[in-house]
Amino acid sequence: MTLGLLSQYVFNGLMLGMIYAMVAVGFTLFFGVLDVIKFSHGDVLMVGAFTGLATYLGLQALGVDSPLVQLLVMTVVAALAMGLLGALIAKYLVLPLRLAPPLNTLLITLMLGSVLREAVRLFYPQGSNPKPFPRLLPADFVSFGAFTLRADSMILLLAGLAAIVAVHLLITRTKLGLAIRAVAQDAETARIMGINFEFIVLLTFAIGSGMAALGGLMNGLYYNEINFGMGLLLGVIGFSAAVIGGLGNIYGAILGGFLFSALQSIGAVALPALFPGTSTAYKDVFAFAVVIIFMAWRPTGLIAEKKSERV
């Protein structure tokens, strides 16, 4: 394999890893504040991508055709809409089940994911077909031998990085972030200290879901295609990434995201090389198998989850 091809793999891996990390950060945020898994996260991402697409079509119809304006409006609309959706999910599905067995929260969000997926498939015009996603980023590229560096990929990578850094700063440097961390540490005490528990939870869900919308748009811009089923796999991958890294830990989530994409790349490259004749399609089989083995070895991930049970 040439160095150029290798760099191509590495770059694609980074790109995917960034998207995974964005999803994983959402899972970790929700788990951090409320100790719950919101399984509909991947499908929220998908709905975010479709919201972006619908916004684009609306703008086209209105005659707005500057790609920059279109992109900005799409991002804002999708992020806000998904933020709202996330907060609604938290308020009406997750918080009411706080006292029920934790499994019920997982089940209800899993079912909500199905509802979102099916709703898009059935009610979005021709929702069961893949939809072309507009190319809105400059298509310039530079080639180094076999390695092509595309401007759009570069922009996406930087945008993803910026979004993660922004969330990180929000959580570590602002008063709001302090409140989120306080709730994550100990909800009871945070409440006694005058923190509006419900508001913080809703806000966290909104932030995480907004991130998912960005991830959805990035995914669309990168592949130039979206479909109603994309959220399921991305959700499971994001969840795996968050678990590999250690649920509740933002660095862990980012690390997990890149690790998962590295696993897929290794699966795609190494398996056919080691066992001639195997298809690269085994890459997901390989990646998930490694995740399952990893979890048997380190059940709480690389950076261990907080343990809070009192006996």
Quick check: 243 binds another protein (CB under 8 A)?
yes
Site string for another protein, 281-310 (x = CB under 8 A): xx-xx--xx-xxx-xx--xx--------xx
Residues 22-41 that bind another protein (CB under 8 A): 31, 37, 39
Question: 252 has which bridge partners?
Answer: none
Between 139 and 192, CB nearer to another protein: 192
In the range 249-288, which residues lie near another protein by CB under 8 A? 279, 281-282, 284-285, 288
Burial class (CB in 10 A: 0-12, 13-18, 19+), 200: buried
Max intra-chain CA distance, the chain: 64
Nearest to 48 by CA among 122, 112, 150, 116: 116
- Residue 240 touches another protein, criterion: CB under 8 A: yes
Stretch that binds another protein, among 49-57, 78-86, 102-110, 249-257 (CB under 8 A): 102-110
Tokens of 300: 């709480």
Residue appearing with tokens 């279109």? 70
Among 73, 97, 195, 302, binds another protein (CB under 8 A): 97
Angle (nearest 5°) at CA 193 between 242 and 165: 35
The site map against another protein for 176-215 (x = CB under 8 A) is ----------------------------------------
Instruction: For residue 243, give both structure tokens.
Output: 């678990």
Q: What are phi and psi of 132, to 5 degrees?
A: -70, 135
Rounded-to-integer distance, Cα 65 and Cα 154, Å: 23
Query: Rounded to the nearest whole angstrom, what is the least distance from the CB of residue 142 to another protein in the complex?
Result: 35
H or E segment to which residue 298 belongs: none
Of residues 23, 25, 36, 22, the one with CA closest to residue 183: 36
The answer to the question of residue 239 lying near another protein (CB under 8 A) is: yes
* Chain positions contacting another protein, by CB under 8 A: 31, 37, 39, 93, 96-97, 100, 102-104, 106-108, 110-112, 114-115, 118-119, 122, 232-233, 236, 239-240, 243, 247, 279, 281-282, 284-285, 288-289, 291-293, 295-296, 299-300, 309-311
